[in-house]
Chain A
Amino acid sequence: MNKTSKNSKFAVTQLLQEMASGRQGPGYKKAFELINGLAKVYNSKRLIPVNSVQISGVSYKNIGKTGISFLKNLDSPQVRVPTTLNPACYEPFLHKLHLNEEIRGQKEIVKLYSEMGVQTSLTCSPYFYVNKPEYSQHLAWAESSAVVYANSVLGARTNREGGPSALAAALTGFTPEYGLHLTTNRQPQVKIILEQIPENSLEWGLLGCWTGINHKNTIPLFFPESSCSPTEEDLQSLSAALITWGGTPIFHISHLTPEADIFPQPENSANCKLDDLEIIRQQISYQPQTNDEIDFVFLGCPHYSTAKLNEVFSKFHNQNIKTGIGGPCKNLIGQIPPATELAYFGGSCIAVSYLLPSIKTVATNSVKACFYLMNRNIKTVLLSEEECLNLKSTVARKSFK
Chain B
Amino acid sequence: MKLKGKIIYPGKCRGEILFLQAPLSFYGGVDPNTGKIIQENHPQKGKTLKNKILVLPNSTGSTVGSWTILRLAENKKGPLAFITKNCDSVLATGSILAETPHLDNIPIKQLAKFDELALDKNIIHFSTNKSILPAQSETGNPDDFIIKLGGSVITCKNHPQPKVNLQPITKIAEKLRGTKRNFILVHGAGSYGHQPVSRHNLLKRSLTLETRILWSKVQTFQYQLNTHLCNIFQENNLPTYPVQPSAIFTRSKEKIIFNSAPVEFLLQNNFIPVLYGTPFFNFAGKLDILSGDTICLMLAEELGFSHIFHLTNAPGFYLEQEKEKTIIREIKASQWPGLRQQTIEHQKTDKNTTPDVTGGIIGKMDSLIKAAEAGIESYIIDGNNPDSLEKILRGINAGTRIIPE
- Tell whether A pairs with B: yes
| Chain B CB within 8 A of A269 CB | no
- Taking CB atoms and an 8 Å cut-off, the chain A residues in 128-181 that contact chain B are 142, 144, 159-165
Find out whether the CB atom of A67 lies under 8 angstroms from the CB atom of B67.
Answer: yes
**A contact residues around B64 at 8 Å (CB):** 57, 62-63, 162-163
Sorting the interface of chain A by its residue count into under 10, 10 to 19, 20 to 34 or 35 or more gives: 20 to 34
Find out whether the CB atom of B8 lies under 8 angstroms from the CB atom of A163.
Answer: no
Inter-chain CA distance A169–B89, complex, in Å, is: 14
Inter-chain CA distance A42–B64, complex, in Å, is: 20
- Least CB distance from B357 to A in Å reads 41
Look across to chain A and name the residue whose beta carbon is closest to the beta carbon of B104: A41
- Taking CB atoms and an 8 Å cut-off, the chain B residues in 85-121 that contact chain A are 87-90, 92-93, 95-97, 104
Chain B positions 119 through 141: 1 when the CB is less than 8 Å from some CB of chain A, otherwise 0: 00000000000000000000000
Chain A positions 1 through 43: 1 when the CB is less than 8 Å from some CB of chain B, otherwise 0: 0000000000000000000000000000010011001101110
Find out whether the CB atom of A162 lies under 8 angstroms from the CB atom of B96.
Answer: no
**A contact residues around B71 at 8 Å (CB):** 64, 66
Find out whether the CB atom of B7 lies under 8 angstroms from the CB atom of A40.
Answer: yes
**A contact residues around B28 at 8 Å (CB):** 375
Chain A binding surface, main DSSP class? helix
Q: How many A-B residue pairs have CB under 8 A?
A: 70
Inter-chain CA distance A199–B104, complex, in Å, is: 46
Given A163-B63, A164-B97, A165-B93, A41-B8 contact (CB < 8 Å): yes
- Least CB distance from A275 to B in Å reads 31
Inter-chain CA distance A161–B89, complex, in Å, is: 8
Chain B positions 8 through 33: 1 when the CB is less than 8 Å from some CB of chain A, otherwise 0: 11000000000000000000100000
**B contact residues around A41 at 8 Å (CB):** 6, 8, 87-89, 92, 104
Look across to chain B and name the residue whose beta carbon is closest to the beta carbon of A142: B63
| Chain B CB within 8 A of A70 CB | yes
Look across to chain A and name the residue whose beta carbon is closest to the beta carbon of B64: A62
**B contact residues around A69 at 8 Å (CB):** 74
Inter-chain CA distance A164–B96, complex, in Å, is: 10
Look across to chain A and name the residue whose beta carbon is closest to the beta carbon of B71: A66
Find out whether the CB atom of B8 lies under 8 angstroms from the CB atom of A40.
Answer: yes
**A contact residues around B74 at 8 Å (CB):** 66, 69
| Chain A CB within 8 A of B66 CB | yes
- Least CB distance from B71 to A in Å reads 4
| Candidates A142, A160, A163; contact of B67 at CB < 8 Å | A163
| Chain A CB within 8 A of B70 CB | yes
Inter-chain CA distance A171–B8, complex, in Å, is: 20
**B contact residues around A66 at 8 Å (CB):** 67, 70-71, 74
Find out whether the CB atom of B63 lies under 8 angstroms from the CB atom of A161.
Answer: yes
Inter-chain CA distance A263–B67, complex, in Å, is: 37
Inter-chain CA distance A37–B11, complex, in Å, is: 14
| Candidates A34, A40, A162; contact of B6 at CB < 8 Å | A40
| Candidates A38, A42, A56, A375; contact of B63 at CB < 8 Å | A56
Find out whether the CB atom of A162 lies under 8 angstroms from the CB atom of B66.
Answer: yes
Inter-chain CA distance A37–B104, complex, in Å, is: 11
Chain A positions 78 through 98: 1 when the CB is less than 8 Å from some CB of chain B, otherwise 0: 000000000000000000000
**B contact residues around A30 at 8 Å (CB):** 96-97
Given A40-B6, A41-B88, A34-B67 contact (CB < 8 Å): no
Given A37-B92, A41-B92, A162-B70 contact (CB < 8 Å): no
Find out whether the CB atom of A38 lies under 8 angstroms from the CB atom of B97.
Answer: no
**B contact residues around A64 at 8 Å (CB):** 67, 71
- Least CB distance from B80 to A in Å reads 18
Look across to chain B and name the residue whose beta carbon is closest to the beta carbon of A35: B96
Inter-chain CA distance A42–B95, complex, in Å, is: 15
- Least CB distance from A10 to B in Å reads 21
Look across to chain B and name the residue whose beta carbon is closest to the beta carbon of A176: B89
Find out whether the CB atom of A160 lies under 8 angstroms from the CB atom of B92.
Answer: no
- Least CB distance from A85 to B in Å reads 15
Closest 6 A/B residue pairs (Cβ): A162-B63, A66-B71, A41-B92, A37-B96, A41-B87, A162-B66
Instruction: Using CB atoms and an 8 Å cutoff, list the residues of chain B in contact with chain A.
Output: 6-9, 28, 63-64, 66-67, 70-71, 74, 87-90, 92-93, 95-97, 104
